[in-house]
Each structure stands twice: as structure tokens, then as C-alpha cells.
Amino acid sequence: MDIFTTFDIAASGMKAQTIRLNTISSNLANAEATSTPEGGPYKKKSVVFQTENLPFRHQLQQSLLERGQAQGVKVARIIEDPEPPQLRYDPTHPDAREDGYVEMPNVSILKEMVDMKSATRSYEANATTIKSAKRMAMKALEIGR
């Protein structure tokens, strides 16, 4: 695996984690939204990742060298959580049902914060990988002098 493959893999991870962080931010921002244009409360969204084949030049090089194929990651889709909304008793709320309960989003602030921390750490790990690969390349160039 060359240095550019390392950059490609780490960059794909950073891009995927950025989308994950944006989705988590959306969940947190809408944690109290009881009505949406689609009707009903906001539904939590989650990111689904899948492997991503590297560009053709990497696949060709790897097949010529008969190595295992290195792959990056990409966002396959963003899905809505199928869990039912949480019910909160508040008969004074404008969106309350006849029985006084309000359908609240199925977003757990605590879980979202843990996911945010995880996504941030993954992003940082990929950034560190790029910095380390860059330092190794610079050291290799210094050796060649």
C-alpha cells in the first residue's frame, strides 16, 4: 500500500464521519420538534456505512501485486429510526392529543452525545493517520538526500 492509498482511505473515513456528525447535529437540533412537514414528531436519523472501492488505479496496482484490496468507507444511506415516538403528558402543549399526551421525537440526547463523541474520535484518528503518513513520507525523502 502506498502513501496515497493511506490518504484516500483516511480521507474517506473523515468524509463519512463528517456526514455522521451532521446527522447527529440534526437529531440534537430536533430533539424537541413535535411536528414536521411530513406530520408527527421528528424521527431520529442514523447513518449506515459500507466499504468503498478505491479508484481504478489502486485496484489495478493491487491486482498486479496480488495483495488484498484496501478499501475506504462511504455513507450508504441515512435511515430513520423505526422506534415509536416517546409519549410525554402535557395537556397544555399545542400538539397534545385528546388524552393529554404529546408525541415527542425518539431522540435520546445522551445516546446522541455518545455517538457524537465516537464520531469525533474517529475523525481525529483519521486525521492523525494522514499526519503520520505525511511525516513518514517526509522522513523517507530526508533519507534519500
Residue 37: DSSP 8-state:
T
What's the pLDDT tens digit per position in 88-105?
999 999 999 999 999 999
Range list of β-strands (E), the chain: 45-53, 71-80, 86-89, 101-104
pLDDT at 119 over 60: yes
What's the pLDDT tens digit per position in 18-51?
999 999 999 999 999 998 888 889 999 999 999 8
Rounded alpha-carbon distances, angstroms, from residue 64 to 3, 7, 59, 120:
17, 21, 9, 36
Rounded Cα distance between 15 and 43, Å, is 24
Domain holding 18, by residue range, is 3-143
> How many domains does one find in the chain?
1
pLDDT at 124 over 90: yes
Rounded Cα distance between 61 and 41, Å, is 50
What 3-state class would DSSP assign to 144? coil
